[in-house]
Structure 1
Amino acid sequence: MPMRNKNIRPQRRPPCLGLLASVIFTFGATAVQAYDVTSSPYLLGDWGGMRTRLEEQGVMFSIGYVSELAHNFSGGTEDLTRYTDQWAFGTTLDLKKLWGWQGATFQFTMTDRNGRNLGADANIGNNMLIQEVFGRGQTWHLTQLWVNQKLLEDRLEMKLGRLTVGEDFFSFSCDFQNLTFCGSQPGNLVGNYWVNWPTSQWAARLKYHTSQETYVQTGVYQVNPNYVDDSWARHNGWKPNNPSGTTGALIPLEVGWLPTWQGRPGSYKFGGWYNTSDGDDLYLDVNHNPRGVTGLDPLKRSGQYGVYLSFQQQVTGTDGGRGATVFLNFSHADRNTAQLDHQITMGVQYKGPFASRLQDSIGFAIGATHNNGRFADFVRQNNARTGQNVVAGNGYEYVTELYYSWSPVRSISLRPNLQYILHPGGTSINSNAFVIGLKSSVTF
């Protein structure tokens, strides 16, 4: 067992912390005087009424900050603490109020990510990020740049521009800190072409509301490896350009049912996807022989695909008030090309655990991510041929997370959490990890 490094090097304080402190110090007092900070959704209040006046004219601004601190007490090769964060700056325009453009909305969002990845720095070997907000390059991203048009008495919606797949397909909250339970699940399995926040690509989405409770939607999303290349993102991630190298299109399809049960909301989604791009077979070579043995190029598979479901239902309390909501999510990608071929999660979240703490919540979830055995067989054979000692799991990585979300005021959330990772990377070779974290968010 490698020795643990107890001499932890001090980290440079993220520059955004100083900016956050200065913003609060400079504007906080004014915001409190002009607006009740305890009930306002914005820490800086209504900007002396300017926010309300702009919204009445069709202009809304949003500024948000999320930070995630994590320390591993076991697992990996080093005891470390790591910090990562994200700033998000957005503008929403009601084009009817501004220009009389009936049923049209414009959205623009830029994000900036900074920090370090605990799993990588401590050599934990995990598949799913311990700090979900890390990733896609620690830099600026053009996250949203689109127009959404409603037609046919708002039954039909057409969205065009730079989109993130997960904002529309398999959309799911990001209350937990571990990526296993955060956001659009297919992106956890095939993130090389299913691109979630904060990365966007040129796309179009069509959604039809078949009734007040049901809908069907599909879309076409550009697949280009540059979008998920961190080195490309550092120089181009913030630009609304169209890079060369497009390999195909991602075409998702989703059917949704949004019922109420005893007055409590539910969400039931079924979907699938097809990527027209060719994919490398994980095990076979161009001659349909084991490529780990032959060392030849992989067989090219025509298209890549998968299916998913997502269930959420509030089971106690009242709509919008206190109560428990349960969820079950499942995704499965094709075993020919996906190193992580399926993931299943379930959990419960309880809003307002105490009568005096209506903005607080408690969450608990368990999840399993499976490593494709076809890829593990390739790695084993390739190790025997080349003398390498690469580790590739062929089982499940199990993750459990428990959090308590405390909101001292409506615009701030402090969410300490405990995470336990069993068989990181889907193999017992990696030591189990116990992590304590703190996810914080501020809406300005």
Structure 2
Amino acid sequence: MLLGTTIACPVQASNSPYLLGDWNGERTHLSDQGIDFNFGYTSELAHNFNGGTRHLTRYTDQWNFGATFDLDKLWGWKGSRFQIMVSERNGRNLTADAHLPVYQQVQEVYGRGQTWHLTIFAFNQRFFGDKLEWSIGRLPVGSDFDSFSCDFQNLTFCGSPPGNIAGDYWINWPTSQWATWLKWNTTEQTYIKLGAYQLNPKYIDNDWARTNGWKLNFPGGTTGALIPLEFGWTPSVNGLPGSYKVGGWYNNAGGSDLYYDINRQPIAITGEAPLQDSSRYGGYLGFQQQISGIAGGNGVTVFANATMTDAQTSPTDRQFAIGAEYKGPFNRDNDMIGFAVGATHGSSRLAAYQRLYNQLNPNNPVPVQSGYEYAAELFYSWSPIPSIQLRPNLQYVAHPGGTSQNGHVFVLGLKSIIAF
């Protein structure tokens, strides 16, 4: 399909960042008028050579259809814009089908219901010479706070890290929530950002998403709000760009305790309903810094992420990742090499429950997830033309699920990205 489409429009596709080119100049004309389009496709193929119960190959993908409207150019509303993005997911999940006992999926693009999603539907306004920025509408929190790229295929290194360890309420792409945030640019290189996101169990219900995920509605059953706060610094170090963030969040909807029941007795003993903690919380640090090459272009960029959340209610309570990307290897401007290693830790509260359960049930023990899951990924991104990236990758996971009782996982993957 890729080769056929490329041959069909060789002149436009060979030089354009879009596979379908500039639409005979119409795309540029619309952009000048204030309308920009974002059409894309991402697929992820994965095969497990080791780990799980079966050796399988699975394929999953995502389509994105979006547009941004510059309301200043269109209607003279200075500093205003409106954005909409609709996403659609298909395919199967190797992690589930092969019973890989991992914390983090080996195909990050799978999940939140393989269906249509209203990912962004938001109005954005800038004030005071762009010092203050405000956004309101349907927004994915992971795109607004502790945002991180999705160049890798393993979820440990893709997207906003809080969503990887507190994903039952910190909801990353493609699911959105009704939300609003304010960003104050304190200097040209520093900012502070505060948000509020609706918490509703329906947003993470796959059955609900299949019929309602794409609708512009306000579902009943709101339980509270997620309040994230972020401080950022975007310096230029030796003329090369960097991004440094520190932040935290508070969830006033609370959650189910992993060890105690409603009477503050161990669940493993009583089997009663879990205690409902009144709040949940967490924090993060993240940085990306280009260390060589041309600013914003070819060269090496390094990154590190550290995220922690409360162990009382989250089965995974912390995650760390470091890595590097080299753009422009072998004098190929559009190619890239990436390597990362990371660790995801199981909740000590959950491990305490598992130990007690095993004492009470010696004939039917469960793995005690008291340690770290270690993941590593290496990829090479080959770009035959600017709009297409073919990204074979190798993934290795040691102590999957945070326990040495599970066998190591080795996966060969292929991530493909097309910008239309």
TM-score range, shorter chain: over 0.9
Among 262, 266, 283, the residue aligned to 1:307: 283
The letter for the 1-side match of 2:10 is: V
- Cα offset, 1:389, TM superposition: 4.6
Does residue 430 in structure 1 map to residue 406 in structure 2? yes
The 8 Å contact of residues 130 and 177 in structure 1, kept in 2 or not, is answered as: yes
Tell me the residue number matched to 1:113: 89
Does residue 78 in structure 1 map to residue 54 in structure 2? yes
Mapped to 2, the partners of 1:287 and 1:388 lie a distance apart of 26
Rate the CA distance shift 1:28–1:402 in 2: closer, same or farther, 3 A.
closer
- Cα offset, 1:168, TM superposition: 1.2
Among 376, 379, 385, the residue aligned to 2:354: 379
The C-alpha deviation readout for 1:290-346, integer Å capped at 9, x for no partner, is: 121122222221110001000111111120222111111000001111110000000
Does residue 32 in structure 1 map to residue 10 in structure 2? yes
Mapped to 2, the partners of 1:142 and 1:385 lie a distance apart of 46
Question: For 1:47, what is the secondary structure of its paired residue?
Answer: coil
Counterparts in 2 of 1:148-163, with a 5 A limit?
148-163=124-139
The 8 Å contact of residues 295 and 382 in structure 1, kept in 2 or not, is answered as: no
- Cα offset, 1:388, TM superposition: 5.3
Does residue 342 in structure 1 map to residue 335 in structure 2? no
TM-score under structure 2 length normalisation: 0.97
Among 313, 324, 347, the residue aligned to 2:300: 324
Does residue 362 in structure 1 map to residue 337 in structure 2? yes
The 8 Å contact of residues 422 and 432 in structure 1, kept in 2 or not, is answered as: yes
Counterparts in 2 of 1:29-68, with a 5 A limit?
31-33=9-11, 35=12, 37-68=13-44
Mapped to 2, the partners of 1:248 and 1:385 lie a distance apart of 36
The letter for the 2-side match of 1:291 is: I
Does residue 413 in structure 1 map to residue 389 in structure 2? yes
The letter for the 2-side match of 1:102 is: K
The letter for the 2-side match of 1:381 is: L
Does residue 103 in structure 1 map to residue 79 in structure 2? yes
- Cα offset, 1:62, TM superposition: 1.5
Structure 2, gaps ≥5 residues long? none
The letter for the 1-side match of 2:381 is: S
Task: Supply the RMSD in Å over aligned alpha carbons.
Answer: 1.5
The C-alpha deviation readout for 1:138-161, integer Å capped at 9, x for no partner, is: 111000000110001011000000
Mapped to 1, the partners of 2:223 and 2:367 lie a distance apart of 30
The letter for the 1-side match of 2:396 is: Y
The 8 Å contact of residues 31 and 47 in structure 1, kept in 2 or not, is answered as: no
Paired residue total: 419
Does residue 271 in structure 1 map to residue 250 in structure 2? no
The letter for the 2-side match of 1:168 is: D
Mapped to 2, the partners of 1:59 and 1:32 lie a distance apart of 25
Tell me the residue number matched to 1:5: none
Mapped to 1, the partners of 2:215 and 2:336 lie a distance apart of 38
Counterparts in 2 of 1:133-172, with a 5 A limit?
133-172=109-148
- Cα offset, 1:28, TM superposition: 5.0
The letter for the 1-side match of 2:384 is: P
Counterparts in 2 of 1:86-97, with a 5 A limit?
86-97=62-73
TM-score under structure 1 length normalisation: 0.92
Mapped to 2, the partners of 1:341 and 1:278 lie a distance apart of 15
The letter for the 2-side match of 1:32 is: P
Question: For 1:67, what is the secondary structure of its paired residue?
Answer: strand
Question: For 2:31, what is the secondary structure of its paired residue?
Answer: helix
Mapped to 1, the partners of 2:261 and 2:177 lie a distance apart of 31
The C-alpha deviation readout for 1:194-225, integer Å capped at 9, x for no partner, is: 01100000000100100110000010000001
- Cα offset, 1:48, TM superposition: 1.1
- Cα offset, 1:32, TM superposition: 3.3
Identity rate, percent: 58
- Cα offset, 1:244, TM superposition: 1.1
Tell me the residue number matched to 1:12: none
The 8 Å contact of residues 357 and 365 in structure 2, kept in 1 or not, is answered as: no
Among 100, 110, 114, the residue aligned to 1:124: 100
The letter for the 2-side match of 1:379 is: Q
Question: For 1:38, what is the secondary structure of its paired residue?
Answer: helix
Mapped to 1, the partners of 2:287 and 2:374 lie a distance apart of 20
The C-alpha deviation readout for 1:366-405, integer Å capped at 9, x for no partner, is: 0000011211221343455577554451111100000001
Rate the CA distance shift 1:135–1:392 in 2: closer, same or farther, 3 A.
farther
Rate the CA distance shift 1:29–1:414 in 2: closer, same or farther, 3 A.
closer
Mapped to 1, the partners of 2:29 and 2:14 lie a distance apart of 21
